[in-house]
Amino acid sequence: MKKQTLFILAMASIGLFSCKNISGKENVEAVVDSLKVDSIAVVTPTVDEIVKDSVTNPKGETLQMLFNNTTSTATFTLKNEVIEMKQDTTASGIQYSNEDYLFTEWQGKMELKKDGKTIFSYQK
Protein backbone atom coordinates (compact mmCIF):
# COMPACT_ATOMS: atom_id res chain seq x y z
CA MET A 1 0.00 0.00 0.00
CA LYS A 2 2.89 2.34 0.82
CA LYS A 3 4.53 1.67 -2.54
CA GLN A 4 1.31 2.42 -4.40
CA THR A 5 0.81 5.70 -2.55
CA LEU A 6 4.39 6.80 -3.21
CA PHE A 7 4.10 5.85 -6.88
CA ILE A 8 0.87 7.82 -7.30
CA LEU A 9 2.40 10.86 -5.59
CA ALA A 10 5.51 10.63 -7.78
CA MET A 11 3.44 10.36 -10.94
CA ALA A 12 1.22 13.28 -9.92
CA SER A 13 4.31 15.40 -9.20
CA ILE A 14 5.80 14.57 -12.59
CA GLY A 15 2.49 15.42 -14.26
CA LEU A 16 2.22 18.76 -12.46
CA PHE A 17 5.74 19.91 -13.16
CA SER A 18 6.01 18.72 -16.76
CA CYS A 19 3.07 20.80 -18.04
CA LYS A 20 3.89 23.74 -20.30
CA ASN A 21 4.02 27.02 -18.50
CA ILE A 22 1.64 29.53 -20.12
CA SER A 23 3.17 32.55 -18.37
CA GLY A 24 6.40 32.19 -20.32
CA LYS A 25 8.51 31.15 -17.36
CA GLU A 26 10.94 28.28 -17.52
CA ASN A 27 9.50 24.77 -17.33
CA VAL A 28 10.40 22.73 -14.25
CA GLU A 29 10.61 18.93 -14.49
CA ALA A 30 10.59 16.67 -11.45
CA VAL A 31 12.87 13.65 -11.54
CA VAL A 32 12.38 10.70 -9.25
CA ASP A 33 15.63 8.73 -8.95
CA SER A 34 14.51 6.05 -6.52
CA LEU A 35 11.93 5.28 -3.92
CA LYS A 36 13.00 3.93 -0.56
CA VAL A 37 10.58 1.64 1.23
CA ASP A 38 11.11 0.81 4.90
CA SER A 39 11.59 -2.85 5.68
CA ILE A 40 8.63 -4.73 7.06
CA ALA A 41 9.16 -6.67 10.28
CA VAL A 42 7.60 -10.09 10.25
CA VAL A 43 6.16 -11.02 13.62
CA THR A 44 6.15 -14.71 14.34
CA PRO A 45 3.92 -16.02 17.10
CA THR A 46 5.76 -17.29 20.12
CA VAL A 47 5.39 -20.88 21.18
CA ASP A 48 5.09 -21.41 24.90
CA GLU A 49 7.91 -23.42 26.45
CA ILE A 50 6.06 -25.93 28.65
CA VAL A 51 7.68 -28.34 31.11
CA LYS A 52 5.56 -31.03 32.77
CA ASP A 53 6.59 -33.11 35.77
CA SER A 54 5.12 -34.91 38.75
CA VAL A 55 6.48 -36.20 42.03
CA THR A 56 5.06 -38.55 44.63
CA ASN A 57 6.06 -38.14 48.27
CA PRO A 58 6.45 -40.99 50.80
CA LYS A 59 2.81 -40.48 51.90
CA GLY A 60 1.68 -41.46 48.38
CA GLU A 61 0.49 -37.95 47.47
CA THR A 62 1.25 -36.89 43.89
CA LEU A 63 1.93 -33.29 42.91
CA GLN A 64 1.55 -32.64 39.18
CA MET A 65 3.41 -29.60 37.87
CA LEU A 66 3.18 -27.70 34.62
CA PHE A 67 5.67 -24.86 34.16
CA ASN A 68 5.21 -22.29 31.39
CA ASN A 69 8.67 -20.75 31.05
CA THR A 70 7.48 -18.28 28.42
CA THR A 71 4.92 -16.61 30.69
CA SER A 72 6.74 -17.39 33.99
CA THR A 73 3.69 -19.16 35.40
CA ALA A 74 3.03 -22.62 36.84
CA THR A 75 0.00 -24.80 37.40
CA PHE A 76 0.07 -27.34 40.21
CA THR A 77 -2.49 -30.09 40.83
CA LEU A 78 -2.71 -31.71 44.26
CA LYS A 79 -5.66 -33.86 45.33
CA ASN A 80 -7.73 -32.63 42.35
CA GLU A 81 -7.13 -29.00 43.33
CA VAL A 82 -5.65 -26.85 40.55
CA ILE A 83 -3.38 -24.05 41.75
CA GLU A 84 -2.15 -21.24 39.46
CA MET A 85 0.97 -19.29 40.48
CA LYS A 86 3.43 -16.75 39.09
CA GLN A 87 7.19 -17.10 39.28
CA ASP A 88 9.08 -15.05 41.86
CA THR A 89 12.69 -13.93 41.48
CA THR A 90 15.13 -15.83 43.68
CA ALA A 91 18.90 -16.00 43.97
CA SER A 92 18.85 -19.79 43.65
CA GLY A 93 16.21 -22.45 43.28
CA ILE A 94 12.71 -21.66 42.07
CA GLN A 95 9.73 -20.06 43.73
CA TYR A 96 6.14 -19.59 42.60
CA SER A 97 3.38 -17.94 44.59
CA ASN A 98 -0.11 -16.46 44.65
CA GLU A 99 -2.25 -14.99 47.46
CA ASP A 100 -2.61 -18.31 49.31
CA TYR A 101 0.11 -20.66 48.05
CA LEU A 102 3.90 -20.77 47.92
CA PHE A 103 5.93 -23.38 46.05
CA THR A 104 9.70 -23.60 46.50
CA GLU A 105 12.33 -25.97 45.13
CA TRP A 106 15.93 -25.77 46.21
CA GLN A 107 18.58 -28.48 45.93
CA GLY A 108 16.01 -31.21 45.31
CA LYS A 109 13.70 -30.25 48.17
CA MET A 110 10.19 -29.21 47.12
CA GLU A 111 7.57 -27.66 49.38
CA LEU A 112 4.07 -26.46 48.68
CA LYS A 113 2.60 -24.29 51.41
CA LYS A 114 -0.91 -22.96 51.85
CA ASP A 115 -1.26 -19.95 54.14
CA GLY A 116 2.18 -20.70 55.61
CA LYS A 117 1.41 -24.37 56.38
CA THR A 118 3.24 -27.10 54.45
CA ILE A 119 0.70 -29.24 52.58
CA PHE A 120 3.18 -31.15 50.37
CA SER A 121 6.87 -31.87 50.65
CA TYR A 122 9.26 -33.98 48.61
CA GLN A 123 13.01 -34.62 48.86
CA LYS A 124 15.01 -36.18 46.02
pLDDT in tens, 66-87: 999 999 999 999 999 999 999 9
CB 38 within 8 A of CB 48: no
Q: Between 72 and 4, whose confidence is greater?
A: 72
Residue 115's pLDDT band, with cuts at 50, 70 and 90, is very high
Q: Which residues pair with 88 in a beta bridge?
A: 95
Non-local CB neighbours of 61 within 8 Å, separated by 6+ positions? 78, 79, 120
pLDDT at position 118:
97
Fold adopted by 50-123? Lipocalin (2.40.128)
**Is the pLDDT assigned to residue 46 strictly greater than 80?**
no
Confidence (pTM): 0.62
**Nearest C-alpha neighbor of 83 from the set 71, 70, 99, 69:** 99
Q: Tell me, what's the pLDDT at 38?
A: 64
Rounded alpha-carbon distances, angstroms, from residue 32 to 6, 9, 11, 21, 101: 11, 11, 9, 21, 66
| Alpha helices per DSSP H over the chain | 2-17
Q: Where are the domains of the chain?
A: 1-43, 50-123
